[in-house]
């Protein structure tokens, strides 16, 4: 009797085993797990019939068991509206700002892992033109230029963006690089500027395509964005300037090789030059420094001037201080060169080249120029209003690279100063 019972239990266990195995491996005929055969599930926003959609509206998509394979957007006259997908797959952004008080239709198709498709259609109407004041934005990245490897993509705001609105603004700022070199945006603490860079310096030859799609974007309760701006430019040769107050010398390095050492005179003790990592922001064959109204007023014409800070620090030709260059600091905070050396340097540098100054009495302040490379990658990434991919970090084996940058908070239409 005991033997029969044990045999019966064994038979039950063997019979049950194939059922459990089948539940884990799916259909033996297809060799696919059960979830792979599920039909796609697709939801689309704005919902059908939504009114008063901002003109920055985009088509949001959520897909389960598949992916979006087609999106068609048309206006109320049947004209197609071009759009591009977000990198995270969360939606499709129209390539141009939508028009106010117009009706649009979006038809989205998703294809499931099973091969089946599902299509969702939604029609929505945009809001009338906003009467709220626009926050003025400035894109410091022009088109059809060649920039240095430290060039940040910089957008400044007047008035600054409040902290609670920065994520919405950041989602409307787009950067594409070819070859791909992903980065992130980071906000200056007061919200007056946001800048974009990768963990490492841009590779020479990279094409950077930028869109600041802020026109009509609701920013907080009382403001909207002002414009939709675009620019595409390239990255040139890698150039770095290293300025050492201890030796009063500037090292000019291109593609990792020292080209020349140039004697300099920096800021005198009462008006010291800032130490830190800056970026060449502007280049002028000729300009006038006018500091009337300051504690040390003067007006002087200078040649071969390259701006480093919004506070008025430049590299420039200074024939009047050639006897001091290499020995004594006599300037109002600028880096003085001989006329011949300043002229030569203008032919080597690009806007976006890194300039590192060390050993002076004061440190570079956040936002005084483009100061994004004056902080570590970890600190820079903490300034993003959106999550930063965990795997985005500097190349571990990269040596100090002569192509660093600085991203900061430019003041609107700064006046030239220097010394």
For the stretch 132-176, pLDDT in tens is 999 999 999 999 999 999 999 999 999 999 999 999 999 999 999
Order of strands, sheet of 354-358, starting from the edge strand that comes earlier in the sequence? 257-263, 249-254, 239-244, 354-358, 274-279, 362-363
For the stretch 210-243, pLDDT in tens is 999 999 999 999 999 999 999 999 999 999 999 9
| Residues 6 or more apart in contact with residue 353 via CB below 8 angstroms | 148, 149, 150, 239, 240, 241, 279, 280, 403
Instruction: Answer yes or no: is pLDDT of 26 > 80.
Output: no
Q: What is the mean pLDDT of residues 346-362?
A: 98
% of the chain with per-residue pLDDT over 90:
81
% of the chain with per-residue pLDDT over 70:
86
Instruction: Answer yes or no: is pLDDT of 31 > 80.
Output: no
**Phi (first) and psi of residue 165, to 5 degrees:** -105, -5
Closest CA to 259 of 184, 358, 349, 129: 349
Q: What is the mean pLDDT of residues 173-186?
A: 97
At 125 the pLDDT is 98
Q: What is the mean pLDDT of residues 305-323?
A: 97
Supply the Cα-derived Rg of the chain in whole angstroms.
29
């Amino acid at each position: 009797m005991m033997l029969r019972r044990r045999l019966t239990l064994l038979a039950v266990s063997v019979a049950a085993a194939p059922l459990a195995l089948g539940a884990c491996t799916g259909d033996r005929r297809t060799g696919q797990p059960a979830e792979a055969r599920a039909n796609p599930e697709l939801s689309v926003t704005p919902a059908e019939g939504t009114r008063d959609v901002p003109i920055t509206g985009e088509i949001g998509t959520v897909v389960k068991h598949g992916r979006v394979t087609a999106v068609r957007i048309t206006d109320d006259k049947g004209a197609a509206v071009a759009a591009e997908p977000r990198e995270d797959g969360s939606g499709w952004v129209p390539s141009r700002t939508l028009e106010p008080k117009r009706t649009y239709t979006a038809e989205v198709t998703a294809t499931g892992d099973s091969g089946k498709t599902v299509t969702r259609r939604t029609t929505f109407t945009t809001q009338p033109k906003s009467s709220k004041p626009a926050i003025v934005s400035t894109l410091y990245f022009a088109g059809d230029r060649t920039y240095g490897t430290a060039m940040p993509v910089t957008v400044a705001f007047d008035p600054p963006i409040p902290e609670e609105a920065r994520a919405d603004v950041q989602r409307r700022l787009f950067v594409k690089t070819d070859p791909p070199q992903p980065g992130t945006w980071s906000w200056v603490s007061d919200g007056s500027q946001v800048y974009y860079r990768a963990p490492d310096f841009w590779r020479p030859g990279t094409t950077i395509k930028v869109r600041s799609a802020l026109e009509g974007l609701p920013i907080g309760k009382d403001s909207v964005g002002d414009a939709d701006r675009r620019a595409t430019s390239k990255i040139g040769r890698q150039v770095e300037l290293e300025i050492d107050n201890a030796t009063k010398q500037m090292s000019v390095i291109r593609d990792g090789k020292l080209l020349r050492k140039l004697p300099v005179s920096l800021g005198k003790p009462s008006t010291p030059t800032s130490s830190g990592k800056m970026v060449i922001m502007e280049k002028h064959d000729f300009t006038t420094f006018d500091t009337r109204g300051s504690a040390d007023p003067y007006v002087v014409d200078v040649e071969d001037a390259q701006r480093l800070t919004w506070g008025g620090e430049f590299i420039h030709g200074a024939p009047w201080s050639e006897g001091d260059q290499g020995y004594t600091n006599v300037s109002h905070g600028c880096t003085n060169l001989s006329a011949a050396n300043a002229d030569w340097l203008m032919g080597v540098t690009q806007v976006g080249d890194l300039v590192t100054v060390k050993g002076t009495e004061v440190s570079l302040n956040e936002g005084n120029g483009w100061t994004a490379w004056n902080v570590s990658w970890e600190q820079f990434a903490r300034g993003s209003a959106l999550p930063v991919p965990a795997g985005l970090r500097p190349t571990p084996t990269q040596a100090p690279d002569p192509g660093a940058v600085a991203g900061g908070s430019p003041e609107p239409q700064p006046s030239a100063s220097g010394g």
